[in-house]
């Protein structure tokens, strides 16, 4: 299926994140995949597991709204770009993380998940985002709003939600690479 340039940009970001996660876990032992720099920090496997969980929760909120918009025939009028507030939130998520944000309980990672399972869940969540884009990419993603599943009073456009997913992935993959590098340095 071919996408418009703006949707293809999101797909490209998802593809890049998936390649990054694959590279991150290549050659990583289970022990190193669940190594933590200090108590309370997340391991590589936990970072990846968190992304899979967050993607599923975010998409669930977005799907309900997208399905309703699809039934209403709210077709694409412009590019799938975030608005001003959404763009500010996305910048906050981008690595390098300057501010630590607390993960809501609903998307905290499992404790020491098997690395291969965390990666498989992440890849599955990526496929769900791509399926969402195939199903709803023709909607007016920049104007259809959904309730943020973590801050109920906040409503983002579907376009913002998709860009949030991509930025959130970059943030935690960056975190996971730092953890992997620290684990390898600790071993030396």
Residues 6 or more apart from 174 whose CB is under 8 A from it?
A: 95, 96, 97
Q: How many domains does the chain have?
A: 1
Locate all alpha helices (DSSP H) within the chain, ordered by sequence: 5-25, 30-33, 44-71, 84-93, 115-136, 158-187
Query: Before 128, cis peptide (omega within 30)?
Result: no
Residue 172 sits in which domain range?
5-187
Is the pLDDT at 58 greater than 90, yes or no? yes
Q: What is the pTM of this model?
A: 0.94
**Predicted confidence band of residue 100 (pLDDT cuts 50, 70, 90):** confident
Confidence of residue 98 (pLDDT cuts 50, 70, 90): confident
Q: CA angle, corner 125, sides to 123 and 130, nearest 5? A: 95
98: domain CATH number?
A: 1.20.120.450
């Amino acid at each position: 299926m071919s996408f418009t340039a703006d949707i293809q940009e999101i797909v490209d970001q998802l593809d890049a994140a998936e390649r990054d996660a694959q590279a991150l876990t290549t050659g990583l032992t289970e022990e190193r995949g669940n190594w933590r720099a200090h108590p309370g920090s997340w391991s590589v496997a936990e970072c990846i597991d968190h992304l899979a969980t967050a993607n599923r929760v975010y998409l669930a909120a977005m799907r309900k709204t997208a399905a309703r918009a699809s039934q209403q025939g709210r077709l694409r009028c412009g590019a799938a770009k975030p608005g001003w507030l959404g763009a500010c939130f996305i910048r906050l998520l981008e690595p390098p993380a300057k501010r630590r944000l607390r993960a809501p309980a609903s998307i905290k990672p499992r404790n020491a998940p098997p690395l291969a399972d965390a990666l498989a869940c992440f890849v599955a969540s990526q496929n769900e985002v791509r399926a969402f884009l195939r199903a709803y990419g023709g909607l007016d993603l920049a104007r259809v709003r959904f309730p943020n599943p973590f801050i109920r009073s906040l409503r983002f456009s579907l376009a913002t939600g998709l860009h949030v997913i991509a930025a959130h992935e970059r943030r935690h993959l960056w975190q996971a690479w730092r953890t992997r590098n620290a684990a390898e340095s600790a071993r030396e």
